[in-house]
């Protein structure tokens, strides 16, 4: 049976990892550098003849590939260094100290990778690399070390954005066009497998658009370049030395590379990073429907030809879909002039649409074709907490927390390892230099109460923010973090301050 595994490495556990059995999805966290071909490709930046050496690319790009050291609190009640709040398959990668005995208490450290995308210090990595971290340190190839601020995360695609500050311009890499890659093109990964330091591997693009059930928007590149534990968050390059993917996971029955690695394509990662950089959260389009594939039996029962399209199973109340007239039993076969191959294709397409855009839909209903128009809404997982209902986040003098929040649905609970009985709203992004950032709030925190009142939705939080702003007092939040609770006082900031 195939096993997917995430590959973050505990500093204390490095000697033990090589013999560990991989369980689940291995996420790769590397100390990355870049491998690229010196010779320009004949037909495109992504295509080239077999190279003599990748040395030129490595020399040029390695300074922009970084190691990431995260410190995590020991979960309350944890035994043997296990990490119950992590997704299955990650627990064996953390906490075992040198000598084979896990610490009974104290912080845990893990190693990961990332890459610098701008001279002013923005760093891309995987969300699972920094998830639940209480401190993040970025280590450059020249051994300079920087404390990092978490700008925002997108658990749905496993992308995170960090920021480091330097007195001088930092080395950085450029994004490439993953859509231009063809199966068989060269790909190059650089990482820190098993804590060995900058390691370069090369292979070809094996497949595109892989769905490994890691998240709702899976659309991975597959490469046979060796990616191991310790490579997560590092860059995957094309033959021109541009980043075409973020190394994330491998299929691993044994814990090591078997030539099946996965990377988030740059076409996805670049847009996610831009949203995180601008807002601290990701803006996605939303229809508000439950959908499933059309099987042959369902097609026969509905008396339709073929199994293309997405069958609507439910419609969310007051959603764009309901307003457009979609109903359970409809089969969406075309959106904005493009055929819908299935539920996954529809989900990816809708998520990429700009909020407020009106798009035509073609649906099959009761054996007939219906033409509808839907205005794409903002996905409910994206919200910036403002001072008042309808307040313009950019309005001068408006006090803000500066966080993006999401409701605690089953998917988010599982991703963050939250107990079923926990009630509140999760922070998915924190804007740099915001009130939340200055108070120490970070993605993964769950706000359970504000000003002494339970918080279960955005409206409750907005009310508490507005009340604290009126009183000109800090807002006291009760936050669930790392298996326990803490209080955080947030001094609200107005744009005119």
* 89-103, 182-196, 346-360, 452-466: segment of lowest average pLDDT: 89-103
Residues 403-407, mean pLDDT to the nearest whole number = 81
pLDDT above 80 (res 197): no
What's residue 196's pLDDT?
67
Residues 379 and 103: their CA atoms lie apart, in Å, by 41
Tokens found for residue 44? 């495109």
3-state secondary structure of 465: helix
- Report, as an integer, the average pLDDT of 486-496: 73
Question: Model confidence at 101, in pLDDT bands (50, 70, 90)?
Answer: very low
CB 10 within 8 A of CB 197: no
Annotated binding site for substrate: 128, 158, 230-232
Average pLDDT over residues 435-463: 87
Q: Residues in the chain, how many?
A: 497
Q: Where are the alpha helices (DSSP H) in 29-161?
A: 55-61, 127-130
Query: 56 in helix, strand or coil?
Result: helix
Residues marked as catalytic: 128, 158, 232
Identify the bridge partners of residue 187 per DSSP, sorted by sequence position. Answer: 203
Measure the CA–CA gap between 444 and 425, rounded to whole angstroms. Answer: 10
Q: How high is the pLDDT of residue 85?
A: 34
Per-residue CA distances from 480 to 419, 461, 462 (Å): 11, 15, 19
pLDDT at 437: 83
42 or 351, which is more confident?
351
Output 189 or 405, whichever has higher pLDDT. 189
Element (H, E) at 139: strand 135-139
Residue 350: name the closest of 299, 296, 310, 395 by CA.
310
Same fold? 285-378, 403-490: yes
81 against 285, higher pLDDT: 285
Q: Give the pLDDT confidence of 200-257 residue by residue, as tens digits.
A: 889 999 988 887 777 677 889 999 988 877 788 999 999 999 999 999 888 876 666 7
Report whether pLDDT(362) > 80: yes
Residue 201: half-sphere exposure toward Cβ, Cα within 13 Å: 27
Q: What is the mean pLDDT of residues 106-122?
A: 88
Distance CA 197, CA 194 (A): 8
Q: Average pLDDT, whole number, for the chain?
A: 77
According to DSSP, the residues that pair with 314 across neighbouring strands are: 290
In the predicted model, is pLDDT for residue 26 greater than 50?
no
* 37 within 8 A of 238, measured Cβ to Cβ: no
Share of the chain above pLDDT 90, in %: 30
pLDDT at 191: 77
Separation CA 6–CA 8 (nearest Å): 6
Q: What is the pLDDT of residue 443?
A: 84
Least confident segment among 28-37, 134-143, 357-366, 429-438: 28-37
Output the pLDDT for position 390.
Answer: 31
pLDDT at 423 over 80: yes
* Residue positions forming the annotated binding site: 128, 158, 230-232
Tell me: pLDDT of 480 over 70: yes
Q: Is 128 helix (H, G, I), strand (E, B) or coil?
A: helix
The pTM of the full predicted model, rounded to 2 decimals, is 0.64
Those residues with Cβ within 8 angstroms of residue 361's Cβ, 6 or more apart along the chain or in another chain: 324, 326, 332, 334, 335, 371, 372, 373, 374
- 170 pLDDT tier (thresholds 50, 70, 90): very high
Given this model, what pLDDT does residue 393 score?
Answer: 33
CB 160 within 8 Å of CB 70: no
Nearest to 131 by CA among 174, 103, 93: 93
| Cβ pair 268, 219 in contact under 8 A | yes
pLDDT confidence of residue 255 = 66
Look at residue 136 in the predicted model and tell me its pLDDT. Answer: 92
Q: Residue 77 pLDDT more than 60?
A: no
CB burial string 329-341: b at 16+ within 10 A, e below: ebbbbbbbeeebe
Integer Cα distance of 164 and 169 in angstroms: 11
Q: 143-147, 214-218, 383-387, 403-407: which has the highest mean pLDDT?
A: 143-147
Give the percent of the chain with pLDDT over 70.
75
Q: What pLDDT score does 75 carry?
A: 52
Q: Give me the architecture of the 403-490 domain, per CATH.
A: Roll (2.30)
Provide CB contacts within 8 A for 423, sequence distance 6+: 408, 448, 454, 456
For domain 1-279, the question of CATH label 2.40.10.120 is answered with: yes
Please state, in angstroms and rounded to a whole number, the distance separating the CA atoms of residues 462 and 346: 33
For the ranges 139-143, 155-159, 190-194, 352-356, the lowest mean pLDDT is seen at 190-194
pLDDT class of 21 with cuts at 50, 70, 90: very low
pLDDT at 413: 81
Residue 106 pLDDT level (bands cut at 50, 70, 90): low
Which run of H or of E encompasses 83?
none
Between 264 and 382, where is the model more confident?
264
Selection from 129-133, 295-299, 334-338 with the highest mean pLDDT: 334-338
Taken in order 200, 202, 205, 206, the sign of the CA dihedral is negative
Q: Which residue has the higher pLDDT, 432 or 384?
A: 432
Kindly state which CATH superfamily the domain 285-378 is placed in. PDZ domain (2.30.42.10)
Residues forming beta bridges with residue 489, ordered by sequence position: 476
More confident residue, 451 or 31: 451
Helix, strand or coil, per DSSP, at residue 450: strand
Q: What is the pLDDT of residue 159?
A: 92
pLDDT confidence of residue 494: 54
Whether 23 contacts 42, CB under 8 Å: no
- Residue with more model confidence, 329 or 250: 329
Whose structure tokens read 């594939």?
293
Domain spans of the chain? 1-279, 285-378, 403-490
d(CA 236, CA 36): 10
């Amino acid at each position: 049976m195939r096993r997917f595994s995430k590959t973050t490495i505990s500093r204390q556990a490095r000697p033990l990892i090589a013999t560990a059995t991989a369980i689940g999805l291995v996420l790769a966290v590397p100390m990355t550098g870049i491998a690229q071909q010196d010779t320009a490709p004949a037909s495109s930046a992504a295509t080239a003849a077999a190279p003599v050496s990748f040395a030129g690319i490595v020399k040029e790009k390695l300074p922009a590939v970084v190691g990431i050291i995260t410190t995590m609190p020991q979960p309350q009640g944890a035994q043997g260094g296990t990490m119950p709040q992590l997704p299955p398959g990650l627990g064996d990668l953390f906490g075992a100290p040198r000598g084979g005995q896990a610490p009974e208490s104290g912080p845990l450290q893990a190693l990961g990778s990332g890459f610098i995308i701008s001279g002013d210090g923005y760093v891309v990595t995987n969300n699972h690399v920094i998830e639940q971290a209480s401190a993040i340190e970025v280590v450059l190839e020249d051994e300079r070390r920087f404390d990092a601020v978490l700008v925002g995360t997108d658990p749905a695609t496993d992308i995170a954005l960090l920021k480091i500050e330097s007195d001088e311009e930092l080395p950085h890499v450029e994004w490439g066009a993953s859509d231009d890659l063809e199966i068989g093109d060269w790909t190059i990964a650089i990482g820190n497998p098993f804590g060995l330091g900058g390691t370069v591997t090369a292979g070809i693009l094996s497949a595109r658009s892989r769905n490994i059930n890691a998240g709702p928007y899976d659309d991975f590149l597959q490469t046979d370049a060796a990616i191991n534990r310790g490579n997560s968050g590092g860059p995957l390059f094309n033959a021109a030395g541009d980043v075409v993917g973020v190394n994330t996971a491998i299929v691993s029955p044994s814990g090591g590379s078997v030539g099946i690695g996965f990377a988030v394509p740059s076409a996805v990662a670049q847009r996610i990073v831009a949203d995180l950089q601008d807002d601290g959260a990701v803006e996605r389009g939303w229809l508000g429907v439950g959908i499933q594939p059309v099987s042959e039996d369902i097609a026969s029962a509905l008396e339709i030809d073929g199994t293309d399209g997405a069958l609507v199973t439910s419609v969310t109340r007051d959603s764009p879909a309901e307003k457009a007239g979609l109903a359970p039993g409809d089969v969406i076969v075309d959106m904005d002039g493009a055929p819908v191959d299935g539920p996954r294709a529809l989900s990816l397409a809708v998520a990429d649409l700009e909020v407020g855009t009106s798009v035509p839909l073609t649906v099959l209903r009761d054996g007939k074709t219906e033409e509808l128009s839907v205005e794409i809404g903002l996905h409910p997982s994206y919200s910036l907490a403002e001072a008042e209902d309808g307040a313009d986040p950019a309005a001068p003098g408006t006090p803000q927390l500066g966080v993006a929040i999401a409701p605690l649905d089953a998917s988010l609970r599982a991703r963050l390892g939250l107990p079923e009985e926990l009630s509140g709203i999760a922070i998915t992004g924190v804007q740099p230099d915001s009130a939340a950032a200055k108070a120490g709030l970070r993605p993964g925190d769950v706000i359970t109460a504000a000003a002494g009142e339970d918080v279960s939705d955005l409206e409750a939080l907005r009310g508490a923010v507005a009340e604290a702003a009126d009183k000109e007092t800090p807002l006291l939040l009760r936050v669930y973090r790392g298996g326990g609770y803490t209080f955080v006082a947030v001094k609200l900031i107005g744009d005119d301050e």
